[in-house]
Structure 1
C-alpha cells in the first residue's frame, strides 16, 4: 500500500513540476517591461539572496538601482514584484484588499501550525475574529493591565540586579527580553505564568520552541516543500496518518518542526482548558487568577458567551489565537527591545537624556507611572518610534494577487525602453514582496539621514515629505505594524511593553557595548547573534545579544 501511494505521489509531483516548468516558457512575462536584477539561476532566481539571513545589504543595493517598484526573478523563471512605493502599498493594504491577499503559503502554513487564528483566516472569518478581539486590545484594557506589566518588569529588574551584584558585567539581553515578553503575554494575555524570571530558573519549553520556530521552518528545503508540496498534501488522510508519515520520513529538520509545534500546541491547550475551567467554575474568584482575571483570554471567553450567533467564535478558533498571539507578540517585541537597548548602549548621550526624562517623571509620582504618563513621555516615545522605524522586527511581507489588479505609484517608473509609467497591471497569481524596511528608510521621504538612528527627529513636527507621502501604516507614518484590516492588532500592547521595560531598566542600569560583533539575521523576524556564537543542534548560530551592564550610580 505504501509503495503504491509513493508511486502515485511521484507521478502527481512529476506532472505538476513539468507543467510549472513549461508554463514559465509558454506564457509571456507580464513584467518584462519593468526593470529589475538579472536571474542568477533558473531554479532559484534571486530568492536565495532576497531571503538570505544576512542579506539586507542586497536589498539596499536593489532599491538604489531600481527604485520603489521593480521585478525580481523568482523560482523556476517566475517573477515577483518588489514594492515599497507608498501609493502602491495603500492600494495593496487598504483600497484593494479584495485583490491583494496574504500569500497562500503564509496562510496555509499558519493554519497548519497555529490553527484558524487571526493571521490564518481571510474575508468574513477574519472580520468576525477581529471584531471579537478588538476590545481586548483597547486603550482602556491597556490601562488596566499596566500594573501587571510593571509587576513583571520589576522581577526582571531585580534578577538583573542580582546578576550585576554578583559581578556579572555582560548579560545576554535578548534572553532576558525573550523571557520577559513571554511572561508579559502569558499573564496579561492568558492568565498564565511561563517564567518566574529568577536568574537561574529553567527556560520554559515554549520559549525555546517559539524562538527557534522560524529558523527551523525557513531552511531552504522546508521552504520549498511548503511552497510546492504542502498545498497538495495538507488534506491528505487524517491528522494521525499525516503524523505517521512525518515521523517515518528520515528528515531531522521536519522532525524538529514537528516537535516545536507539539510543544506550542500542548501549551495552548493547557492554557485554554485552564481558562475555560476558571470561567465555568461558579466558585472561582477570577481576581485570584494570574493577571487578576483581566487577561485577554478571560475577556475573550466572556465576550464570546454574550456574542450573537453570527459573531460567536468556535472553540477551535479561540484556541488558535493563543499560539498566534504568543508567536506574533513575543519574538517581535523581544527583538525590538533588545535592538533598542543595543542602540542605547552605542549612544550614551541618548541613553543619558532618556534616563533623565524617566527619572524626572518618576520623581513626581509615587510608585510606578500610570499608563497615560508613561505613554506620553516625549523622548521615550521618540526612542521607541525611531527604533521601530529604522529596524522593523518583521522587515518584509508577502502578498498574492487573487485577481487581476492595477497598482498606481506615487513616483513614475522608468521602463526598460525608457518610458515613464504611473501604474502597473498585476495579473492574478502574482506574488508581491512588500518591503516595510525600505519604506521606513526611504531618503526622499525621511531625509538624507534616513539610515541613521536619530530619535531627535520625532521631537519636532515631521517634515512635509513624510506627511505628504501618505504612508498607509497604522502607526506614526511607519509600515512597521502594517496598515488596513490586517494591520497588527496588538501594536498598542507592544508599545506599552517596550516603554514599561525601558522605563524601569534605564533608571537602574547603564548599558554599554560588549565588544562583540553583533549580526542581525533575517529569519522572517530580525534576530541577533554574534560572530563567534556556537551552533545549535539544528546547525544555526545560537541567538543572543551580549551587552555590558553596570549600575547607574556606579559610574
Structure 2
C-alpha cells in the first residue's frame, strides 16, 4: 500500500506541476504587460478557427484590435507564445534587415518519416539554405522562358474547354475550370505528365491535387499537438501528410524519373532541373558534403511546387475575374491592352510580349492585395531579438512570428479606400513611393517565394487569353460580398465563383 500511495502521490504532483506550468505559460504576455487576447488552454488565440472563423478572419480581427498599441502584440500559436507583428518597420527588420535572426518558418516537418514534408517551404536552418541554393537556378528568367511555350499550349487548350462550357451555359463556375488549367500546367512543368484534367475533371492528378490541399492525417487536436510540440512529435515519428497523398506523389516522381532516365528524355522543365540536381555530385553543402537530391527530396520539392502553384494561381485568377465582372470599365481597358499587344506581335503571346501587359499586371497585383492567398507570413526567431527603441518588446529564441500581410494590405494608411478594387494602386508612380513590405503576397527578403516568377507567368497567360475572348459579368448566382472558406489556411471562396460569360468578337 505504501508503494501504491507513493506512486499515486507522485503522479498527482507531476500532473499538478504540468498544469501549473501550462497555466503559467498562458500568462506569458500578460506578465510582460504586452497586449494579448486571453488564450484558450489548448488552441491559444486560434479558437473557433475552421468552424466560426477562417484563419484570415483571425489575422484581420487581431490586427484591427491591436494596431497602434506597439510594434507587436502577444499571440498564442496553440500552446506557444508568439509575436503578432503590427508595424511594417518591424516586418522589414524580420524579413530583410535582421533576416539571419528569423531564417526559419517554424512549420512542422519530419522528412525522415514524412518525406513530402521536407520541402523548401517548411525546411529550416542549414537544410533550408542548402535546398534554396540547389533550387535557385530552376526559377531564373531563362528557365521561365523555356517553360513559357508549354504553358501557352495548355492555355490554348484551356480556352477551347472554357469556350465549350460557355456555349453550353452562360453561367459558369470559373474556379473549377481555373483549377483544372493550373493543374495541367503544373503537372506538365513539374512532372512532365499530360494530366488531361481540362478534358476530364475526374483525372487522377486533379483528384489527388485537390485532396492534397484539404486532406489531413490528423484532426484539430493532432494539428495542435504537432504545432505546440514539434520536437517531441518528431521523436514520436509523427507524420503530417495523409498516406494516399504521400503514396501518389512518391510513385509519380519515381516513375517519371525512371522513364526519363531510361529513355534519355529531356523537356527543359522543373523535373529536368530536379533530375540534374539528383545526378550532380559536385554540389557541396556548407560542411563540404555532397548534397545531390534524393528521390524523396525531389518528390517533396515537386509536391510543394504543385500544391503552391496550382492553388494560389487559380485562386488569384478567380478573384481577378470576380472583380473584373463588377468593374466593366477596368475589364474593357484590360481587354484592349491584351488585344493591342497581341496585334503588335502577330497574334502570338510570347515571353517578350507578355512584359507589355502592364495594366494586366496592375490588375493581378491589386487582386493579390485584396485577396492575399497566403494571408500571413510565418517566421520563427532563432536567437533573442529586442525591437529597436522598445526594450520591453523582446522576441525570444524559438518564438513563432506572425506577419499579417492580408490585414496590412487593407490598411487605409497604405492604401486609400482599401476595400475598393483599384489597379491604379500599382501604377509605376505609386509603386515607387511604397515600401516593399507594404505589399507581401510573395513575402520579401531572402525567404520570399522562389516560384514567384512562375506563378505570375501562368496567371498572366491564363487571364490574358480569357479576357481577350470572353466578357465576364455578375449574375444572380454571384456571391456579393465574397464569402470565404473557413476551413482553408489559404484565402479561398466558400462555394465557387459563378459569373455570366459571353464570347466577344
TM-score category, normalised to shorter length = 0.7 to 0.9
Residues 118-146 of structure 1 deviation map (CA, whole Å, 9 limit, x = unaligned): 12322222222222212221111111221
CA drift of 1:364 comes to: 2.0
8 Å Cα contact 2:171/2:499 also seen in 1? yes
Change (3 A) 1:309 1:75: closer
- In the superposition, relative to structure 1, how do residues 131 and 484 fare at CA in structure 2: closer, same or farther (>3 Å)? same
Specify the alignment match of 2:7 in structure 1.
none
Q: Residues 77 and 174 of structure 1: is their aligned pair in 2 closer, same or farther, counting only changes over 3 Å?
A: closer
- Secondary structure at the residue paired with 1:71? strand
Equivalent position SS for 2:374: coil
Q: Deviation of residue 496 (structure 1)?
A: 0.4
Change (3 A) 1:273 1:485: farther
1:28–1:322 distance in 2 versus 1, CA, 3 Å: same
Q: Which residue of 2 aligns with 1:194?
A: 195
**Equivalences for 1:143-542 in 2 at 5 Å?**
143-166=145-168, 168-198=169-199, 201-217=200-216, 219-228=219-228, 231-236=231-236, 258=242, 261-281=243-263, 284-286=264-266, 293-310=267-284, 311-408=291-388, 421=390, 424-446=393-415, 448-462=416-430, 466-467=434-435, 471=437, 478-516=439-477, 517=479, 518-521=482-485, 523-530=488-495
Query: CA offset at residue 315 of structure 1?
Result: 2.9
Secondary structure at the counterpart of residue 443 of structure 1: coil
What's the TM-score once normalised by structure 1's chain length?
0.78
Aligned to 1:547: 499
User: Under a length normalisation based on structure 2, what TM-score does the superposition of the two structures give?
Assistant: 0.85
Q: Is the CA contact (8 Å cut-off) linking 2:183 and 2:209 kept in structure 1?
A: no
Query: What is the CA-CA distance between 1:425 and the residue it aligns to?
Result: 1.1
Selected match of 1:80 from 79, 82, 87: 82
Note the residue ranges of structure 1 that are not aligned, 5 or more in a row.
1-10, 244-253, 287-292, 410-420, 472-476, 531-543
Higher strand share: 1
Distance 1:546 1:328 in 2: 24
**Could you say what secondary structure the match of 1:126 adopts?**
helix
Partner deviation per Cα, 1:306-352 (whole Å, 9 max, x = no partner): 45141422332222211121112111111111111111111111111
Determine the C-alpha separation between the residues in 1 that align with 2:250 and 2:205.
Answer: 10
CA distance in 2, matches of 1:144, 1:183: 17
Q: Match of 1:107, SS? A: coil
Task: For residue 341 of structure 1, give the secondary structure of its aligned residue in structure 2.
Answer: helix
Q: Is the CA contact (8 Å cut-off) linking 1:206 and 1:264 kept in structure 2?
A: no
CA contact (8 A) 1:192 1:271 kept: no
Q: Secondary structure at the match of 1:528?
A: coil
Secondary structure of the 2:380 match is strand
Q: Secondary structure at the match of 2:128?
A: helix
Whole-angstrom CA distance in 1 between matches of 2:15 and 2:327: 55
Distance 1:326 1:371 in 2: 22
Structure 2: gaps (5+ residues)? 1-9, 285-290
